[in-house]
Chains A and B, each alone.
Chain A
Amino acid sequence: MSKERIKISPDLYDIMPSDYQDLVQSATYGKEDRGWKDIGTSKELIEQHSLCAGCPESMAFRYILASLPNPEDTVMVGSTGCTSLVFPMVAVHNIHSLFGNQNAIASGLKRALSVRFPDRVKDVVVLAGDGATVDIGLDMTLQAWFRQEKFTTICFDNELYANTGGQESGLMQKGFVAKMAPVGKLFDKVRLPEIARESGCHYVVNCTVSKPSLVEKVIRNSVLIAREIGPTYIQLYTPCILEIGKNSMEGLQEMRDSEKPTERFAYKEYISEPAKQLLAELAAKDKERKAAAKQLAGKA
Chain B
Amino acid sequence: MELPDAASLCEKLAEQIRPHLTPDTALIGIHTGGVWLAERLHHALGITEALGTIDVAFYRDDFGSRGLHARPRKSDIPFDIDGRPLILVDDVLYTGRTTRAALNELFDYGRPGRVDLAVLVDRGERQLPISPRYCPLTLTESLPTGSRLRLSRSEAGELSLRIINA
- Asked if A and B bind, the verdict is no
Chain B residues with a Cβ under 8 A of chain A: none
Chain A residues with a Cβ under 8 A of chain B: none
